[in-house]
Amino acid sequence: MTDIVAQAQASERAIAQAEKPEALEQARLDALGKKGWLSAALKELGGLEPEARKQRAAQLNEIKDRLSGALDAKRGALEDAAINARLAAEKQDMTLPLLDGAENLGRIHPIGQVIDEITEIFAAMGFTIAEGPDIEDDFHNFTALNIPPAHPARQMQDTFYLPPREDGEQMVLRTHTSPVQIRTMRSAQPPHRIVVPGRTYRSDYDMTHTPMFHQIEGLVIDRNIHMGHLKGVLVEFCKAFFETDKVKMRFRPSYFPFTEPSAEVDINCSREGGVLRVGEGDDWLEILGSGMVHRKVLEHCGVDPNEWQGFAWGMGIDRIAMLKYGIPDLRAFFDADLRWLKHYGFVPLDIPTLGQGVAR
C-alpha cells in the first residue's frame, strides 16, 4: 500500500518538475504507460478478494485521475510557455517606414480634376459635354461667330496659324471653345444644352497668359431662354464650385462679336493680406464673358433666330482652378514639375461627385 502512495507522489513530483514536453511524456509513461507502475498495479487487481479489489480499484482510479489532471495542466502550461517564447522571438519593429502605395503616388492634374468637378455640376443641370477639334477652320473659329475679316482677333499677334492648304483655306489653332457652339448647332436641331471643355490657344506669355490654356464654353439654346437663365446657371455653378452660398455675382455690360447683349461676369472676393478669397469681401474678380447668342451666329448655323434663342459663356478652366485652389502662376500648369504636380494635383481616388461633394 505504502508502495502505491509513494509511487504516486514520485510521479506527481516528476510531472511538476518536467520542464520540457519530453520529460512530461516520460513521467506519463512511467505512471500511465503500458509498462508504467499504475498499469502494473491495475493488472494485479484480478488476484485480489472481491472486497479488497473494490477498495484497491477505487484507490488506483483516484490516483489515475489525479495524475491525468496534473499531466493536462502541466501540458497546457508548457504549451503556453512555448508559444510565449515563440512570440517573443518573433517580434518585429512596426515603426519601420513603408512605401506609399501606387494609389497614393499618382496624381490627377488640377485641370483634369476641375473639369471633372465642372462636369458634375453642369450634369446636374441637364448639360452634356461636347467637344471639337483644336485645329479649326476660319468659318468655325471666326466667320460663323460674327467676327468679321478685319477684326483684330484674327491677327497674327493673337491667333496661331498653320500653313495655307492648297484650296487657300488657312487653318488656325482655335482661339476659344466657341467653334464647338457652331459645330453643335449645325449638327443637331435645338434645343441645346452643352458645356465644352478644351484646349485653346493664343499667342501670349506671362504670369496669367500661356500660349495654350483651357476654356469651358457653355451654350443653351431653347425657346424663351433669356439672360436671367444665364445668371441663374452661373450663380448655381459658382455656389457649387466654390462651395459657398455667399458668392456674389456682378454682370457688367461688355462686348463680344458673337453675343448681344454681352456681359462680363465678376464674383466677389477679398484680397486681404495678399490672399485671394472667393465669395468674401467687396472686391470684384472677372471670371468669364457671356451673353445672348447673336442672331447672326444662329443664322450661320441654320437656326431660326425668331424661334430659338439662348445664351453662351466662356470661362477659363485654369483660371478658376487657380482661384479655387490658390495656385499662383499659370505657366507652372504646363511645366510638368513633379513637385508642383504632387502638391497641387489630386490623388486618383478623389473623384468629384455631387453626392460626396465636388472637392475635398
Partner 1 sequence: MKFTLSWLKSHLETDASLDAICAKLTAIGLEVEGVTDPAAIFKPFRVAHVLKADPHPNADKLRVCLVDTGEGEPLQVVCGAPNARAGMKGVFAPVGSTVPGIDLTLKAATIRGVASNGMLCSEREMGLSDEHNGIIDLPADAPLGAPFASVMGLDDPVIEIKLTPNRGDCLGVRGIARDLAAAGIGSLKPLTVVATTGMYDSPIKVRRDFPADAQDACALFVGRLIRGVKNGPSPAWLQRRLKSIGLRPISALVDVTNFFTYDLGRPLHVFDAAKVKGDIVARLARPGEKLLALDGREYTLDETMTVIADDNGPEGIGGVMGGEHSGCSEATTDVFVECAWFDPVRTAQTGRKLGIHSDARHRFERGVDPAFLHDGMELATRMILELCGGSASIVEVAGDEPDWSRRVAYRPSRLLGLVGFDLPVARQAELLRALGFGVSEADERLQIDVPSWRPDIDGEADIVEEVARLAGFDLIPATPLPVDRAVPLPAVNAAQRRARLARRGLAARGLVEAVTYSFIRRADAALFGGGKDDLQLVNPISADLDAMRPSILPGLLQAAKRNMDRGFGDVALFELGPQYADQTPEGQSLVASGIRRGMSGPRHWREKPRNVDAYDAKADAIAALAAAGAPVENLMVMDGAPDWYHPGRSGTLRLGPKVVLAHFGELHPRVLKTMDARGPLVGFEVFLDRIPAARAKSGRAKPALKLVEYPAVERDFAFLVDAGLAVDSLLKAVRGAEKALIARVSVFDVFAGNNIEPGKKSVAISVRLEPQDRTLTDAEIEAVGKKVVDAAAKACGAVLRA
Contact pattern for partner 1 over residues 124 through 153, marking x by CB under 8 A: xxxxxx-xxxxx--------------x-x-
Write out the three cell numbers for 222. 431653347
User: Hey, which residues between 171 and 190 contact partner 1 (CB under 8 A)?
Assistant: 171, 173
Residue with cell 458645356: 195
The residue (of 152 and 274) whose beta carbon lies closer to partner 1 is 152
* Cβ 103 to partner 1 shortest distance, Å: 5
Which cell is 240 given?
Answer: 457649387
Residue 311 dihedral angles phi and psi, to the nearest 5°: -125, 165
Question: Is residue 251 part of the contact set for partner 1 (CB under 8 A)?
Answer: yes
| CA distances to 147, 160, 213 from 151, in Å | 6, 15, 22
Q: Note whether 354 binds partner 1 by CB under 8 A.
A: no
Q: What angle do CA 146, 217, 215 make, to 5 degrees?
A: 105
Closest CB 251 distance from partner 1, rounded Å: 4
The span from the CA of 284 to the CA of 249, in Å, is 9
DSSP state of 305: T
Residue of the chain from 258, 313, 333, 344 that contacts partner 1 (CB under 8 A):
333
Does 116 contact partner 1 by CB under 8 A?
Answer: yes
- Residues 251 and 263 sit within 8 Å (Cβ to Cβ): yes
| Choice from 7, 119, 178, 268 touching partner 1 (CB under 8 A) | 119
**326 binds partner 1 per the rule CB under 8 A:** no
The footprint of partner 1 on residues 205-244 (CB under 8 A) is: 205, 211-212, 220, 222, 224-229, 231-233, 235-236
Nearest to 8 by CA among 26, 30, 33, 35: 30
Question: In the range 149-168, which residues lie near partner 1 by CB under 8 A?
Answer: 150, 152, 155-156, 160-163, 165
Interface with partner 1 by CB under 8 A: which range of 7-15, 43-51, 270-278, 342-350? 342-350
Q: Are 218 and 234 in contact (CB under 8 A)?
A: no
Task: Kindly state whether residue 32 participates in binding partner 1, applying the rule CB under 8 A.
Answer: no
Q: According to CB under 8 A, which residues from 41 to 70 bind partner 1?
A: none
DSSP secondary structure letter of residue 346 = B
Asked if 347 touches partner 1 (CB under 8 A), the answer is yes
Residue 43 and residue 47: Cα distance in Å, rounded? 9
Minimum distance of partner 1 from residue 104's CB (angstroms): 8
* Distance between start and end Cα atoms, the chain: 85
Position 98 contacts partner 1 (CB under 8 A): yes
Q: Give dist(CA 171, CA 174) in Å, integer.
A: 9
Q: How many positions of this chain bind partner 1 (CB under 8 A)?
A: 90
* Residue 253 found at the interface with partner 1 (CB under 8 A): yes
